Amino acid sequence: MFYVLPNPQAIAEYVSDLLIAQIQKKNNAVLGLATGSTMEPVYEKLSKQVTHKNIDVSGLTTFNLDEYIGLGAEHPQSYRYFMQQHLFNRLAFARHRTFLPDGLCNDLTEQCEQYSNQIRQSGYIDLQLLGIGNNGHIGFNEPGTPFNSRTHVVTLSEQTRLDNSRFFDSMNEVPDKAITLGLQDIMESRQIILIATGVKKAEIMAELYESPVNEQLPASVIKSHPNAMILLDEQAAMYLPDNMRKAVGA
């Protein structure tokens, strides 16, 4: 389940190849997407490869994991904006099938219910990409989130706000609420790939490696998924026991 590659570039190449194989197998696949620094090289590589190989992405449906409440599509720190910049504007996605929660929606309860329903109606997610927070969150499912959760509104932990403040001018501007796909929605995906890169993720990856499946470490839930892969670079894997590291393909 834990696989180590040398660096973020090697991970980007590997994941881009997996995504392309998925699209070639099923041109109307449903992809679950994440934002964040970890995903930037992945989307960069994917955009180049899809263009180079002339792959048709117009039949795909995508669902992003999360969005800040209070930030609209035009706000440079909104996740819609991130996706437009890093992926959607670069390729011929069908814009009306690129779903993210709407951070400016008035009826959050209804939106949450609809978002999980839309995924179900689309036939569930074929391949879900995940990053991981320093506190073990996936999406914005913070420690203590029930494993049976559906799309919901979260109050972000101080740690998460602090981690994400690097993208904002000041800590005050970091939203304190977000909408996130729930852990049960994520677990219903047919395949899950969690990526962790860089030395800052080394401690949480060691904890994830050692920890039993439990709600205090949200990412641990994917250890009970039948088709999940955890991809680390050498830095994020630095505290994993040598004999437990597997090379991809081994």
Residues from 53 through 72 that contact ligand F6R (CB under 6 A): 65-66
Nearer to ligand F6R, 167 or 239 (CB): 167
Residues from 126 through 185 that contact ligand F6R (CB under 6 A): 131-133, 137-139
Secondary structure class of 2 (helix, strand, coil)? strand
**218 counts as binding ligand F6R under rule CB under 6 A:** no
86 is an active site residue:
no
**Which of 64, 135, 141, 164 is flagged as catalytic?**
135
C-alpha angle 48-54-60 in degrees, rounded to nearest 5: 85
Burial degree of 81 (CB within 10 A; 0-12, 13-18, 19+): middle
Joined tokens for residue 56: 């048709």
**Which of 67, 142, 163, 233 is flagged as catalytic?**
142
137 is an active site residue:
yes
**38 counts as binding ligand F6R under rule CB under 6 A:** yes
Nearer to ligand F6R, 137 or 225 (CB): 137
**5 counts as binding ligand F6R under rule CB under 6 A:** no
Nearer to ligand F6R, 57 or 236 (CB): 236
Cα 76–chain centre separation: 19
Burial degree of 184 (CB within 10 A; 0-12, 13-18, 19+): middle
In the block, which residue shows the tokens 């990526």?
Answer: 195
CA distance 162 to 90: 30
- Please list the active-site residues: 66, 135, 137, 142
Residues that bind ligand F6R (CB under 6 A): 34-38, 65-66, 79, 131-133, 137-139
